[in-house]
């Protein structure tokens, strides 16, 4: 019975960030079409890359959060709680960044928002490393991609 419960917890943990991404993508779908017409930096990936990478990242985030969530070590309980709170907050920041950037076209405000998101991910890395190295490793692609997004955000703000 516990194995079944853990499988459902894993499914839910993966579904949460995927749903956040799907809803955000739905809200910004029309605005992302106009993204093709703005000036972008030379190192901007093709548009098809973004949904693929974000889907992978959301899955990795979900698995990482699952690993932290099922950790039952009393020693790590305080870190676990902090991780899970920060995880929820960063999902909210992740969700709204696309709306600020694509729908509102507030590129400089989106950059500030992204810097806060980046800081929250650093905190997730910090707490996950204290709890479970696999949860930590699963978040590394996320911080790398958000760093790339930061570069793109800065350059798009300057070029437009």
Q: What's the CATH code of the domain at 60? A: 1.20.1260.100
- Which pLDDT value is given to residue 76? 83
Burial of 64 (0-12, 13-18, 19+ CB in 10 A): buried
- Residue 9's pLDDT band (cuts 50, 70, 90): very high
Per the structure, how many domains does the chain have?
1
Please determine, for residue 106, whether its predicted confidence score (pLDDT) is greater than 70.
Answer: yes
Inter-residue contact 120 to 86 (CB < 8 Å): yes
CB atoms within 10 A of CB 145: 16
Measured distance CA(117)–CA(107) in Å, rounded: 15
Q: HSE, CB side, 13 Å, CA atoms: give it for residue 80.
A: 14
Express each pLDDT in 54-90 by its tens digit. 999 999 999 999 999 998 776 788 999 999 999 999 9
Express each pLDDT in 38-53 by its tens digit. 999 989 999 899 999 9
Q: What is the pTM of this model?
A: 0.93
| Domain span at 7 | 2-159
- Residue 1's pLDDT band (cuts 50, 70, 90): low
Burial of 124 (0-12, 13-18, 19+ CB in 10 A): buried
């Amino acid at each position: 019975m516990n194995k079944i419960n853990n499988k459902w917890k894993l499914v839910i943990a993966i579904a949460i960030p995927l749903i956040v991404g799907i809803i955000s993508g739905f809200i910004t779908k029309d605005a992302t079409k106009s993204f093709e017409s703005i000036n972008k930096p030379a190192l901007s990936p093709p548009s098809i890359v973004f949904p693929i990478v974000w889907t992978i990242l959301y899955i990795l985030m979900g698995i990482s959060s699952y690993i932290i969530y099922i950790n039952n070590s009393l020693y790590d309980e305080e870190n676990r709680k902090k991780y899970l709170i920060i995880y929820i907050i960063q999902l909210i920041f992740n969700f709204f960044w696309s709306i600020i950037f694509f729908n509102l076209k507030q590129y400089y405000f989106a950059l500030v928002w992204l810097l806060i998101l980046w800081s929250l991910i650093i905190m997730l890395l910090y707490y996950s490393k204290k709890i479970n190295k696999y949860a930590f490793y699963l978040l590394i692609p996320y911080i790398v991609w958000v760093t790339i997004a930061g570069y793109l955000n800065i350059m798009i703000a300057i070029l437009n």
